[in-house]
Amino acid sequence: MMTLVVSFSRWLHSTNLSWAAAGGYPWVWPVCETLHFMGMSMLIGVVGLLDLRVLGFMKGMPLAPLNRLLPWGIAGFVVNLITGFIFFAGDPFQYIHNNVFWMKLLFIVVAGVNAGTFYLSGLSRRVSSIGGGGDAPTGAKFIAAVSLFLWIGVMYWGRMLPFLGGAF
In a domain, 165, yes or no: no
pLDDT (0 to 100) of residue 133: 84
Give domain status of residue 97, yes or no. yes
Look at residues 85, 68, 74, 77 and name the one whose alpha carbon lies nearest to residue 18: 85
The reply to whether 167 falls in a domain is no
What pLDDT does 40 receive? 96
Domain of residue 30 covers 2-160
What is the pLDDT of the chain when averaged over all its residues? 92
Nearest to 151 by CA among 41, 33, 35: 41
pLDDT at 167 exceeding the cut of 70: no
Q: Over 80: is that where the pLDDT of 111 sits? A: yes
pLDDT cut 90: percent of the chain above it:
67
3-state secondary structure at position 80: helix
Residue 46, domain member (yes or no):
yes
Residues of the chain above pLDDT 70, percent: 99
What pLDDT, on a 0 to 100 scale, did the predictor assign at position 89? Answer: 94
**Total count of domains within the chain:** 1
- 78 lies in a domain? yes
67 domain-assigned: yes
Q: Is residue 127 part of a domain?
A: yes
Sign of CA dihedral 40, 41, 47, 52: positive
In a domain, 77, yes or no: yes
